[in-house]
Amino acid sequence: MKENKLQSFLDDIHELPDFASFDEITIYTKNCLGETPLHFAAIRGDVEAVEALIKAGADINAQGEHHYSPLHEAVEQGHPEVVRLLIGACARKDLKDSDGATPVELAELLGNQEIIRLLGRN
């Protein structure tokens, strides 16, 4: 994803109600729940946006609503390619959400075998 595509993604995020009140959206912008553009890219399964945000220096371990990291979001939404990218960028697999679940435990709860294999069990 080229920089103009990254900016296009950030512009799209700016249209969401959670970010509409901001004058400008950057890779570091957090909404009132602590969610960043990377959270939304992970939720959407937008591989190109995730790659671009990681390359641009987005915080891969930022915790938002329910203390979900982008990795939690990708696991919950069932996006293995995004999980792979985040793990490759050294996203922490030990971060716990507000229920005390790590991304690995969340994957096990949801029964997504492909993502469980990607995350491994350490």
Reported as a single tens digit per residue, the pLDDT across 27-72 is 999 999 999 999 999 999 999 999 999 999 999 999 999 999 999 9
Kindly state the percentage of the chain with pLDDT values over 90. 93
Confidence bin at 1 (pLDDT 50/70/90): very low
Matching CATH number, 3-119, of 1.10.3720.10, 3.40.190.100, 1.25.40.20, 3.40.350.10: 1.25.40.20
Could you give the CA distance from residue 29 to residue 26 in angstroms, rounded to a whole number? 5
Kindly compute the dihedral angle of the four CA atoms of residues 5, 17, 38, 12, in this order, to the nearest 10 degrees: -10
> Rounded distance, CA 54 to CA 115, Å?
20
Model-wide pTM > 0.85: yes
The amino acid that residue 79 corresponds to is: H
pLDDT at 24 over 60: yes
Q: What is the pLDDT of residue 23?
A: 94
| pLDDT score of 74 more than 70 | yes
